[in-house]
A and B are shown apart, each in its own frame.
Chain A
Amino acid sequence: MQSAQTIFENIRKDFPILGRTVRDNKLLVYLDNASTTQKPNQVIEAISDYYKNHNANIHRAVYALAEEATELYEKTRDKVADFINVKNREEIIFVRGTTEAINLVAYSWGRTHVKEGDIILTTEYEHHSNIVPWQLLTQEKGAKIEYIGMDDNGELILDDLDKFLATGKVKLVTFSLMSNVLGTISDSKTIISKCKAAGVLTLIDGAQAVPHMKVDVENLECDFFAFSGHKMLGPTGIGILWVKKSVLETMAPFHGGGDMIREVHKYETTWNDLPYKFEAGTPNIADVVGLGAAIDYLSTIGMNNIRQHEIDLTSYALEKLSEVKGLHIYGTKDISKRGGVISFNFADVHPHDVAQIIDEEGIAIRSGHHCAQVLMERLNVAATSRASFYIYNTKEEIDKLINSLNKVAKVFKL
């Protein structure tokens, strides 16, 4: 058994893209992992192997290839269930990503259960994917979307939750387990226990959390949980929606089509069993297989080791960035409450200019509103720069980021 340190030292060789140079022959420093992660050979090869050796449509044909493809697809469902600790595999639905997962809930659950005057409660630090589907739903139903506010430390103001729950109108509380901009880890235990006491359902956007820490869905006791494959070493275009069976059974179908049906007649149709009722059409089989390989890869390293690695990197980066004159970091400094995401602004230099100048050094960070304009308004900024880390990042790369910021200071005469 390798020590955690040796594992992280050897990891980079699994990621071919990390060996490439960009711009003026600079080795790539990839710090946009909250947006999407790079892929190891194991994932790339699993997808390639699927197409080279097993490609067929799943669930119906009786020939050998179809059987293999079906097994690979369904085996990944078990891996997912295991990875996030879910007992019932029929509660795991394959979707395109977190965005589709939340839209599915807004459509299939929301259309059935949300009525005029109801409140969908979200938070000020949500991604647009956990705001816009609810705006669409509430506008259609004459319901309202409301927000749990955020304090200056980047943490949710739970008094707001109490206030809205007390109205008796809240139908769903939906929040991200970890903010994609500030890295704040939500106090899910408190939120969910308050909601349960009030008989209100909860949806967790796990897109930023699942790749970076051990997530135990059974233990969370939420009702809906969504995350994406591409932020956890898997391919794009595949994600997961988990819904508690008792809730899933009350939901209408999302897309109609093949595979989601039991019997189709001219004027009526009956639905397939769970979870297939929610997986219409030929699914993204190859990328499901790729996601399975990503889960294997992460499980081998161990999610607790990954969290520790990111705590080390983030503490180091927070310390180094705090030493840069004129640099403002958003969110809490308490590392137990934040993941490996750091948003900052550098004096009066616009984040786009920061990102462009350091791109010349091969450093990829994100600049902009990070699909969180409600949060940008709350912070009273147009945009931020954001560096986000993953298993393959190193302290040397953070040093490179810091050095490149000196170049920004020079250009803008800070």
Chain B
Amino acid sequence: MSNADIYHEMIVDYSRNPINYGKIENHDVTFHDSNPLCGDSIDIDMKIDNEKISDIKFHGKGCAICMACSSVLTEIAKGKTIDEVRNISKHDVLGELGLEHLQAVRIKCALLSLKVLKSALYSYLGKHLKNSEDVDKLKEEAASLY
């Protein structure tokens, strides 16, 4: 796969018209992170009801890869239970957009939103869960994303 082939229709369309783009005013959790290498910057807001992601939105600035992956990821996460979201892997996001062979330097663009999502969840659970073992496990998951 040539590197330029990553710019297929779906990526370009998602970057132009991102899905779930915006803010949730009365969110239950919000998280921000950025990529120091390129300056991509993503915020994710989530509404959580009965252990389910009832609403999720993202906003920020990023390249086409970053924006497309954020759209796809939020689509995947929406309506899922907290446990299901915890199990979303990088392959779920990359696979959806045919980016499994993305070069190393761009992987962080693709997975920034996943990192933000997991961190948001971690910060939510940190406040709402009593079981510290569980929180440590989440921390580990977030750290080994790439």
Which residues of A pack against B, CB within 8 Å? 23-24, 348-353, 356-357, 359-360, 367-369, 373, 376, 382-383, 411-413
Contacts and interface: CB of A to CB of B under 8 A. Distances in A.
A353 B63 contact: yes
Contact of A352 (B12, B16, B41, B109): B109
B38 interface: yes
B106 interface: yes
A348 B12 CA distance: 11
B7 A352 contact: no
Given A368-B37, A369-B39, A373-B39, A360 B2 contact: yes
Interface string B120-131: 000000000000
A382 B36 CA distance: 11
B72 to A, nearest CB: 17
A359 B106 CA distance: 13
Given A350-B63, A382-B61, A359 B3 contact: yes
A350 B62 contact: yes
B4 interface: yes
A359 B63 CA distance: 16
B96 to A, nearest CB: 19
Interface in B92-117: 106, 109
Contacts of A383: 38-39
The residue in B2, B6, B63 that gathers the most chain A C-beta atoms within 10 A of its C-beta is B63
Interface residues of B, number: 21
Interface of B: 2-4, 6-7, 12, 15-16, 37-41, 61-66, 106, 109
B18 to A, nearest CB: 12
A369 B35 CA distance: 11
B4 A357 contact: yes
Given A352-B109, A367-B38, A382-B40, A24 B65 contact: no
Given A349-B64, A382-B61, A360 B4 contact: yes
Contacts, number: 58
10 contacts: A350-B61, A350-B66, A352-B63, A356-B7, A360-B3, A368-B37, A369-B38, A382-B40, A411-B4, A412-B12
Given A350-B62, A382-B61, A356 B37 contact: no
B39 A382 contact: yes
A319 to B, nearest CB: 27
A408 to B, nearest CB: 9
A87 to B, nearest CB: 42
A411 B63 contact: no
Nearest to B61: A382
Nearest to B4: A360
A393 to B, nearest CB: 23
Nearest to A349: B64
Nearest to A352: B63
A368 B3 contact: no
Nearest to B103: A356
Contacts of B39: 368-369, 373, 376, 382-383
Contacts of B38: 352, 367-369, 383
B40 A353 contact: no
A23 B3 CA distance: 9
